[in-house]
Amino acid sequence: MVESKIRKDTKLIMDIKNGIELKRVNTSSKDFIDLVAILDQELAIRDGAEHDFYDQFNSLEDIKYAVVAYVEDQAVGCGAIKAYTDTSMEVKRMFTKKESRGKGIAGLILIELEGWAKSLGYDRCILETGLKQPEAIGLYSKSGYKIIENYGQYKGIENSVCFMKMLS
């Protein structure tokens, strides 16, 4: 079991075993913006010609809640949530730098985002990812997310896979 320390005054969560710190931020955080820029570069390569379609739904304007993961004071991962309906938060902008992958960082970010959504009164998280992102599909599947019918702007998009998880 991973040892964790929570300090509510700074909204910082630390995974002592792995030296991972999670900080709740807003989307004006320089570290968050820098990580999202790297994510967008990677997605442009993975998605190819479809990138512009997906990119239009990834504006930071409507996102109020973000988490940045740090290892030795270096920003290594991020994720965010935004209200989708009165009961659902949408998980957005999940990313871990290549050199930090495979260490459980994305899973910790996701857990923190789910807890934050629940504390804000939401009862489920939904999200979309692409078939060209098998690591993301694996993360969401092992984190208790179930595949659902594509929602909203992703209806009828063959490369999209949508997920949902009830927050208990």
The predicted-structure confidence for 2-16, as pLDDT tens digits, reads as follows 344 444 434 455 565
Domain spanning 4-122 has what CATH number? Answer: 3.40.630.30
The answer, yes or no, to whether residue 1 has pLDDT greater than 70, is no
In terms of pLDDT, which residue wins out, 12 or 123? Answer: 123
This prediction's pTM? 0.86
- The domain segmentation of the chain, as residue ranges, is 4-122
Query: pLDDT tens, 132-159?
Result: 899 999 999 999 999 999 999 889 988 8
Q: Is the dihedral of CA 6, 8, 10, 11 positive or negative?
A: positive
What stretch of H or E contains 148? strand 146-148
CA angle 121, 123, 128 (to 5 degrees): 120
CA distance 114 to 149: 21
Q: In the chain, what percentage of residues exceed pLDDT 70?
A: 81
pLDDT tens-digit readout, 43-82:
887 666 665 666 656 677 889 999 999 999 999 999 999 9
Residue 110 clears pLDDT 50, i.e. is over it:
yes
Q: What is the mean pLDDT of the chain?
A: 87
